[in-house]
């Protein structure tokens, strides 16, 4: 860990909680809630989720907690604990693409569609054999969206999202306000969509950690799985651990893949 005061920015799926075939199939245990409370206290209150999930879904999953969160890759925010939520609506063009793809793959078992305002996700974790067909359809549909939309393919599916939906921008926004301001950022994530966050954190002298990295990554350190993330967070809660260990149980990543 940095010896200076730090701020924690945490992805959720694949980082704090194991991925599930269905995005709503995850559950949060009391042990994780307690861990997040303690980690937030160790960070002086500077702990936030930075996730592709909507803020509303994060709140359902982690209820009754109301942690600061950047949802939809920074298109939605709750900047303070328990504060007001800035939401983002679904544009008509995105709704039309979503409805067309839902009709096209209506009979594809295991393919799940998640409509998150301006972000539209197609999950294929339960149907990996369908990914190529989904990707081809998505690439054809992209032409029907306004300029400024892109497709980001991840570990088990893909998402349509505006080019401005970047975790780097979300982290930067938090770092401009208290209690995050002036602290060294620590960002933990596990997917392609987290790479902009890793790069940004590296550029400003922070700590970037990718969970279960596959190939090349901008993250400087790695943890093997969700259990290791939780263990590492538990270690930083103890003041003596922060003083005696700079990177806990991290290992350096192979930047060359």
Closest of 81, 57, 59, 32 to residue 234, by C-alpha:
32
Contact 253, 39 (CB under 8 A): no
The encoded tokens of residue 172 equal 């930067």
How many Å apart are CA 236 and CA 256, to the nearest integer?
29
Q: Report phi then psi at 247, rounded to 5.
A: -130, 15
Residues in a beta bridge with 78: 69
CA distance 141 to 61: 31
Of the candidates 61, 62, 67, which has an alpha carbon nearest to the alpha carbon of residue 47? Answer: 67
Contact present, 73 and 52 (Cβ < 8 Å): yes
Catalytic residues: 11
Q: What is the DSSP string of 38-56?
A: HHHHHTTT-EEEE-SS-HH
């Amino acid at each position: 860990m940095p010896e200076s005061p730090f701020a924690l920015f945490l992805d959720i799926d694949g980082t704090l909680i194991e991925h599930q075939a269905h995005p709503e199939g995850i559950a949060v245990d009391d042990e994780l809630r307690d861990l997040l409370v303690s980690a937030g206290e160790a960070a002086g209150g500077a702990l936030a989720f930075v996730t592709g999930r909507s803020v509303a879904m994060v709140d359902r999953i982690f209820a009754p907690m109301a942690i600061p969160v950047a949802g939809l890759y920074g298109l939605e925010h709750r900047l303070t604990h328990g504060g007001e939520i800035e939401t983002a609506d679904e544009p008509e063009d995105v709704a039309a693409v979503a409805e067309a793809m839902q009709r096209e793959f209506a009979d594809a078992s295991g393919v799940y569609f998640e409509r998150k305002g301006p972000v539209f996700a197609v999950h294929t974790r339960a149907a990996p054999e369908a990914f190529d067909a989904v990707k081809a359809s998505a690439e054809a549909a992209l032409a029907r969206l306004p300029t400024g939309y892109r497709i980001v393919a991840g570990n088990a599916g893909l998402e349509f999202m505006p080019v401005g939906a970047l975790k780097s921008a979300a982290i930067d926004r938090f770092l401009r306000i208290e209690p995050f301001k002036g602290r060294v950022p620590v960002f933990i994530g596990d997917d392609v969509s987290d790479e902009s966050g890793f790069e940004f954190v590296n550029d400003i002298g922070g700590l970037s950690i990718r969970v279960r990295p596959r190939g090349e990554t901008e993250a400087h350190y790695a943890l093997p799985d969700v259990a290791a993330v939780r263990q590492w967070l538990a270690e930083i809660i103890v003041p003596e651990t922060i003083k005696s260990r700079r990177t806990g149980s991290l290992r350096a990543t192979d930047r060359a893949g």
